Amino acid sequence: MAFDGPKQKIYLAGPMSGYEDFNFPAFFKAAAFLEKIGWEVFNPAAEDLKEWGTLEKTKACATYRFCLKKDLSWICDHAEAIAFLPGWEKSKGVQAEKALAEALGLKQIYLTTEGNETL
């Protein structure tokens, strides 16, 4: 699914709470895949590291309310699509992101554990 012309903006949604290292490795792998096929990706894991600098500081400082507000705002303001990492169904935050994406009529992509979309 490569694109010609301007890159479309996609939000990367997935579970973090209860996962080792907040599931950041899966976020970075999926973001790399999506960028490779032509998307401009908003990766919440990368944004958290920009905000707090390290995974340890992110674990200590990131509040659910702060992160959800930032992420939902980006979806409202910029997203043309949303991609879901495996395990998204069990995440309260992703449920909110999915509901917003549906309300906005965004394209939805479901990723496999290999980082490839499944149709």
The tens digit of pLDDT for each residue in 18-55 reads 999 999 999 999 999 999 999 999 999 999 999 999 98
In this structure, how many other beta carbons lie within 10 angstroms of the beta carbon of residue 109?
Answer: 19
Please report the pLDDT score of residue 2 as a whole number: 54
Please report the pLDDT score of residue 119 as a whole number: 30
SS3 72: helix
Q: Is the pTM of this model over 0.95?
A: no
Alpha helices per DSSP H over 62-91: 64-78
d(CA 101, CA 13): 11
SS3 91: coil
d(CA 65, CA 92): 12
DSSP letter, residue 110:
E
Asked if 109 contacts 13 with a C-beta cutoff of 8 angstroms, the reply is no
Can you state the angle between helices 64-78 and 92-104, rounded to 10 degrees? 20
